Amino acid sequence: MNKLRKQLFAVFCLISIPWVSAAEKVEPVDYVNPLTGTLSKFELSTGNNYPVIARPWGMNFWSPQTGKMGDGWLYTYTADKIRGFKQTHQPSPWMNDYGQFSIMPITGKITFDEDKRASWFSHKAEVAKPYYYKVYLADHDITTEITPTSRAAMFRITFPESTNSYIIVDAFDKGSFVKIIPDENKIIGYTTRNSGGVPENFKNYFVIKFDKAFTYKAVVDDNEILKGETEVSTNHAGAVIGFQTRRGEKIHAKVASSFISYEQAEQNLKELGSDTFDELTDKGRDEWNQVLSKIEVEDDNLDHLRTFYSCLYRSVQFPRTFYEINAQGEVVHYSPFTGEVLPGYMFTDTGFWDTFRCLFPFLNLVYPSINEKIQAGLVNAYNESGFLPEWGSPGHRNIMIGQNSASVVADAFVKGLKGYDIEQLWKAVTRGANDHLKETASGRVGYEYYNKLGYVPNNVSVGQNVARTLEYAYNDWSIYQLGKVLGKSANELEQYKKGALNYKNVYNPKYKMMCGKDDKGVFNPQFKPEDWSNEFCEGNSWHWSFCVFHDPQGLIDLMGGKDTFNQMMDSVFIIPSYLGINSRNIIHEMREMQVMDMGQYAHGNQPIQHMPYLYNYSGEPWKTQFWVREIMEKLYNSNPDAYCGDEDNGQTSAWYVFSAMGFYPVSPATDEYVLGAPLFKSVKVNLENGKSILIKSMNNSKDNRYVKSVRLGKKVYSKNYFTHKDLTGGAEIIFEMSSVPNKNRGTNDVDYPYSFSKELEGSK
């Protein structure tokens, strides 16, 4: 029987070989599923994503719209109907959108109402690629296709035979304008709808050109259809144009927008050139492949490949481009701070609280030229507003905590990025450490208390005080590291050097955990480590007690040594996930932790995502290897329920990308990447400097998740980290994997990654 099986297998291989060789080559973009994270809702997030149809870091995204106007959940996988195809700038449902409008083709009776015009659709008649979207609108017998550039897009709409074929342009409410120009087959307009963070003169101007003359025209004034009228400015403006169509007739719409003017929108429309729809689609595919193929993965596990490249796709969307190219070829931008049109770069739609952790370090390693532009944009943001936006969308917003722009700036410069005014950014981060922009999250809330006491007390009406203290301490250290590289004086640096140890001020030795205390130095007597209290941000003490990125050794010393430290980390995965659920009103992050069955480990939110890597600092690196692989296998996939919480603008995706390669930047603004356990047989990172990182994993499998040995180049490598120089100089890394942990490798103090306490010891 075994012999027969072998013969049959041999025959199958012979038959298969010609088919494989003749098959179309699978490229990185083919593994991407833009619908990842769309099986989400207010109560439970599996990403809180929508299908981004765009170019990498594009100014405009396009998405089918299943949610109502103004609903942050603009596309959900469980929805049955599509209301329109929306140009969106939404970074997350919690931030909502700005500068949005939609296009919707219909047949039959004219209606503008978003519920009545909505059409049933099926995922079986839907194609979603990063560069292309197609869906069949069943109620209208229409197929809609979209392919975008950064600031423009082309629609190809296939109609049935009908004398009542229409296209609706919805400029949304809260102040909008449309004008139909029949002689040019064109509609122009603007939308002002936003969710905050904009000047009073904010508008998104759009222009839409069609390749067929209109047989019907009307504008819409707050849902009243005004037949024959061509212009309206009102609360909620829209336009309806009509055609007589043959079955299978295709009508094309060229669309572009600008935050600057109609003239600039026309300029942005030139991105489409004279290309056909198919040519634009091919160019979009090529651009995505160029960006995604910076990392080439070889493996037999198709699910892992799909997850990896879907995560990589999510990692190269934000921060979005917010600059435009004028008729003279100059880089200009509408300032989301002053409302002026100014020269230079601008990027937006990122919250540094999320993305400082590994999204920005990822850009610094793989796409540094992009982050150099982003840093130049931060210079402009500071010059225009006096602060760096901790959460920008598009301007300063009042959400989340920390001054993590300090980390973003420091990590870029420490990693060798250049070409922008770093001295202005030094002024920006030092001002932010000692000031606060009112009614925003920019600067530091409670800086007066922090600078005076070394912590933010829990009785001075500043919420999330423990979390703020921990982040400010790390932010101080980031500023200190940047200042050292810039050659700043010891006197200038002393505040930040001292502040880097302020995490110790909220450490409660009774519990060996971080805990709030009042302005007299008395710890919270009601403290429970599992409580999601107001002293923390979207978490509890189990999540925040390990947020000492820059000084794990200092934290180990506080806890009484490696054994106790490891026991505390082990406890995170053991303590039941339901504990703490009743400590406050439920937020989705609590539910996501509860249902994942990994104890108090809450990978669906950022504060604890680095924690599994801390075993590398405490003599038990095999536990890092176990848990990192467990998280990748259990909490990620390439389906609509792809994540275990909010994806958050590339952060949670970049965690997977880094971890799958075998290392992770625990403390941005060091030059180190801490080792984990690689997922794939082979990974090649094609660096912008022309060199490459080749990572090979021998004997790798689901069971073989432990690192037996590492070679860097031709040498056996015992350290638990790689340096930025190791990688960017070109590296060949070989991991030998095993089903049993090697408890001798990486267990000596000299092999541990950076800790600030060790730096201070060495300087004595």
**Domains of the chain listed by start with CATH number:** 28-293 (2.70.98.10)
In angstroms, the first-to-last Cα distance of the chain is: 73
d(CA 732, CA 503): 38
The tokens for 431 are 């001002």
DSSP 371: H
Secondary structure of 570-599 as H, E, C letters: HHHHHCCCCCCCCCCCCCHHHHHHHHCCEC
- Per-residue pLDDT for 273 more than 60? yes
Query: What is the structure's pLDDT at 5?
Result: 43
CB environment 134-144: b (16+ within 10 A), e (fewer): bbbbeebbbbb
- Per-residue pLDDT for 13 more than 50? no
Rg (CA), the chain: 27
The tokens for 311 are 């995560």
| Of 472, 475, 485, 390, the residue nearest 439 (C-alpha) | 390
Are 69 and 122 within 8 A, CB to CB? no
Whole-prediction pTM: 0.96
Query: What is the structure's pLDDT at 495?
Result: 98
Average pLDDT value for residue range 17-41: 79
CA distances from 610 to 334, 543, 566 (A): 36, 10, 15
**Which position has the token pair 């601008």?**
346
* Coil, strand or helix at 224: strand
Report the greatest alpha carbon distance in the chain. 85
Q: Give me the sheet containing 224-227, strands edge to edge.
A: 61-65, 84-88, 101-107, 162-170, 237-245, 216-221, 224-227
Beta bridge partners of 65: 84
CA distances from 6 to 13, 20, 121, 300 (A): 11, 20, 46, 21
Are 324 and 332 within 8 A, CB to CB? yes
d(CA 408, CA 356): 6
- Per-residue pLDDT for 10 more than 70? no
- Return the number of other C-beta atoms located less than 10 Å from residue 49's C-beta: 29
Query: What is the structure's pLDDT at 438?
Result: 97
pLDDT, tens only, 175-190: 999 999 999 999 999 9
Query: What is the structure's pLDDT at 12?
Result: 38
Secondary structure of 78-139 as H, E, C letters: CCCEECEEEEECCCCCCCCCCCCEEEEEEECCCCCCHHHHCEECCHHHEEEECCEEEEEECC
- Per-residue pLDDT for 287 more than 80? yes
Encoded amino acid at 339, one letter: G
Query: What is the structure's pLDDT at 762?
Result: 84
Are 137 and 144 within 8 A, CB to CB? yes
How would residue 25 be classed by pLDDT, with cut points 50, 70 and 90?
A: confident
- Per-residue pLDDT for 522 more than 90? yes
- Transcribe 152-211 into DSSP letters: EEEEEEE--SEEEEEEEEE--SSSEEEEEEGGGTEEEEEE---SS---TT--EEEEEEES
Query: What is the structure's pLDDT at 2?
Result: 44
**Which position has the token pair 């840093």?**
375
Pick the range with the lowest mean pLDDT from 197-211, 415-429, 470-484, 580-594.
Answer: 580-594
d(CA 351, CA 634): 26
d(CA 159, CA 316): 34
Encoded amino acid at 233, one letter: S
DSSP H helices in 367-421: 368-385, 405-414
Pick the range with the lowest mean pLDDT from 9-13, 569-573, 628-632, 746-750.
Answer: 9-13
Burial of 451 (0-12, 13-18, 19+ CB in 10 A): middle
| Of 701, 698, 699, 727, the residue nearest 713 (C-alpha) | 727
Contacts of residue 73, defined as CB under 8 A and 6 or more positions apart, other chains included, come to 40, 41, 42, 48, 67, 93
CA torsion sign for 63, 66, 70, 72 is: negative
Q: Cα 412–413–416 angle (5° rounding)?
A: 95
d(CA 639, CA 311): 11
- Per-residue pLDDT for 23 more than 60? no
Pairing of strands 331-334, 324-325: antiparallel
| Of 102, 118, 105, the residue nearest 153 (C-alpha) | 102
Query: What is the structure's pLDDT at 130?
Result: 98
Are 536 and 544 within 8 A, CB to CB? yes
pLDDT, tens only, 476-507: 999 999 999 999 999 999 999 999 999 999 99
Burial of 113 (0-12, 13-18, 19+ CB in 10 A): exposed
CA distances from 448 to 391, 403, 457, 505 (A): 21, 14, 11, 16
Contacts of residue 757, defined as CB under 8 A and 6 or more positions apart, other chains included, come to 551, 553, 554, 557
Note every long-range contact of 425-429, with CB atoms under 8 Å and residues 24 or more positions apart, other chains counting: 425/375, 425/378, 425/379, 425/382, 425/388, 426/482, 426/483, 426/486, 426/488, 427/382, 428/378, 428/379, 428/382, 428/387, 428/388, 429/388, 429/403, 429/405, 429/478, 429/479, 429/482
pLDDT, tens only, 404-435: 999 999 999 999 999 999 999 999 999 999 99
pLDDT, tens only, 317-364: 999 999 999 999 999 999 999 999 999 999 999 999 999 999 999 999
- Transcribe 433-498 into DSSP letters: TT-B-TTSSSB-TTHHHHHHHSS--TTSS-SSHHHHHHHHHHHHHHHHHHHHHHT--HHHHHHHHH
How would residue 763 be classed by pLDDT, with cut points 50, 70 and 90?
A: confident
CB environment 349-374: b (16+ within 10 A), e (fewer): bbbbbbbbbbbbbbbbbbbbebbbbb
Are 148 and 284 within 8 A, CB to CB? yes
How would residue 380 be classed by pLDDT, with cut points 50, 70 and 90?
A: very high
The tokens for 559 are 């806890």
d(CA 680, CA 701): 8
What is the total residue count of the chain? 764
How would residue 218 be classed by pLDDT, with cut points 50, 70 and 90?
A: very high
Encoded amino acid at 329, one letter: G
pLDDT, tens only, 62-87: 999 999 999 999 999 999 999 999 99
Beta bridge partners of 345: none
Query: What is the structure's pLDDT at 4?
Result: 40
pLDDT, tens only, 622-663: 999 999 999 999 999 999 999 999 999 999 999 999 999 999
Query: What is the structure's pLDDT at 7?
Result: 45
Are 36 and 310 within 8 A, CB to CB? yes
